[in-house]
Structure 1
Amino acid sequence: MFNWKLKDVIMVCLFSVIFSFIYLGAVYLANFIATILAPLGLAPFAYEILFGVWFMAATFVPYIVQRSGVAIIAEVLSAVIEVIMGNMFGPIVILSGIIQGAGPEIIFAKDRYKNYTMKNMCLAAFAACVTSFIWGFVRGGFVKYSATMLVGMFVVRAISSIIFAGVICKIAADKLAKTGALSSYTLGNQNNMED
């Protein structure tokens, strides 16, 4: 974690700002969807559908920077900026950022921050799903839901996580690398060699 270069700090900060806007937008979109689903008793699913969006910094940024600590730091910075911009849930989302970044951090660390295959990106996204779901019992009052509701919520969150933080982040980072914008990073060099 102490071998970061200035370019790494700048890259993490830049994408944390970008993802903070995406995260805040997802909060308002989830609230809108929750309003529509509330009469059906399915309001919690509005957040589950979009939950993977809130893990994107924890997979996308580490894939580019490929250093220890990036998943947690990118998530926490995104959360801090999101709170400053007016996230209605307040500072608790900063703690959520730590928890959401911890799952991917563990997955990337096990391969010494060298394995960013589609499978591993999706596994990292799923790990964020698991850690955040456990946090849901502590903070979100998940104990009030039936077993059927909890299974349904977990399945939807897992699918959302894999799609947004796994598949979309992998494809987006690869496409960004092909533009040459990441030529000073391993990812940019790998994509140049493939071309």
Structure 2
Amino acid sequence: MSTTNRSAGNPGTQPSAGTSTASSSNPARLRPGSVRASMPLTGWRTVDLLTMVFLGAAFGIAYWGWGLAYRVPSEALGSAFAPISALTYGPWLLAGVVGGLVVRRPGAAFGCEVIAALVSMLPGTAWGADTLYSGIIEGLGAELVFAIFGYRAFGLVVAMLSGALSGFLESIWELYRFGYLSTWQGSWWVVYAACFVVSGVVLAGVLGWLLTRALARAGALNAFPPGQELRESRAV
């Protein structure tokens, strides 16, 4: 069974309807983020499920660690102007972006982010069940962007938009959940949301895209579209 949208090693196989038209015989045409998952998109393979869980668990451990480490930079920024502390929140959005970029199937971004939130809760966090609620909201934000593009585009711009929407939705939730709507003036809400979006773009979108490419170069994603993109871009 092909791991992506075309059968590698069989030059006579034609791309199925709705798949990428990039040709392995012309690698210059292949763009990073242009290869879709094998059709049908809802036909999850065992390796897709296992990888989503593995990525979610790995990010969940990292989330827990960042929950301890972020306080120093966050409090330093917050002491200058409280809303800009959101510039440090982007790493918590990474799982959704990377899950979507790697697996490229409906639900991958959402599932990866929620699993990461659940795993980060296991050792105990200062936010309790709110950690899961945030994971759901952030995962929805990341997933929506991939869905808007029809699960056809997975490049840097899409990754940045995914991180941006994830951060924006989470900022709205936090403004409500932590009482900032009643204790801050309106201009502070805007700054908080904007800083969350910027952090999502840079620390989740750009960083997530770079991490996915690094994993592909290391050979960890050979069974996934990012691995195929790398192989075909190197074809001669």
Please, what TM-score do these two structures have when normalized by structure 1? 0.91
**Aligned match of 2:200:** 161
**Aligned match of 1:192:** 231
AA at the equivalent of 2:230 = N
CA shift, 1:41, in A, is 5.8
**Aligned match of 2:213:** 174
1:119 aligns with 2:167: no
Q: Which runs of 5+ in 2 are unaligned?
A: 1-40
Matches of residues 116-155 of structure 1 in structure 2 within 5 Å?
Answer: 116-143=154-181, 144-155=183-194
AA at the equivalent of 1:13 = V
- Does structure 2 conserve the Cα–Cα contact (< 8 Å) formed by 1:133 and 1:154? yes
Taking the aligned partners of 2:82 and 2:68, their CA distance within structure 1 comes to 13
**Aligned match of 2:44:** 4
User: For 1:84-133, what per-residue CA distance to the aligned partner results, in whole angstroms no more than 9, with x for missing partners?
Assistant: 11112112211111100111111101222221111111111111012112
**Aligned match of 1:42:** 81
CA shift, 1:170, in A, is 0.5
1:29 aligns with 2:64: no
1:85 aligns with 2:123: yes
Q: Which has the larger share of helix? A: 1
- Does structure 2 conserve the Cα–Cα contact (< 8 Å) formed by 1:57 and 1:71? yes
CA shift, 1:34, in A, is 4.3
The count of residues paired between Structure 1 and Structure 2 equals: 193
Flag the structure with larger Rg.
2
- Does structure 2 conserve the Cα–Cα contact (< 8 Å) formed by 1:34 and 1:44? no
CA shift, 1:151, in A, is 2.3
Taking the aligned partners of 2:47 and 2:117, their CA distance within structure 1 comes to 21
AA at the equivalent of 2:71 = N
AA at the equivalent of 2:50 = I
**Aligned match of 2:93:** 55
Taking the aligned partners of 1:179 and 1:51, their CA distance within structure 2 comes to 28
- Over the matched positions of the two proteins, sequence identity in percent amounts to 24
Please, what TM-score do these two structures have when normalized by structure 2? 0.76
- CA RMSD, 1 decimal: 1.8
74-83 or 137-146, which moves further after superposition? 137-146
Q: Which runs of 5+ in 1 are unaligned?
A: none
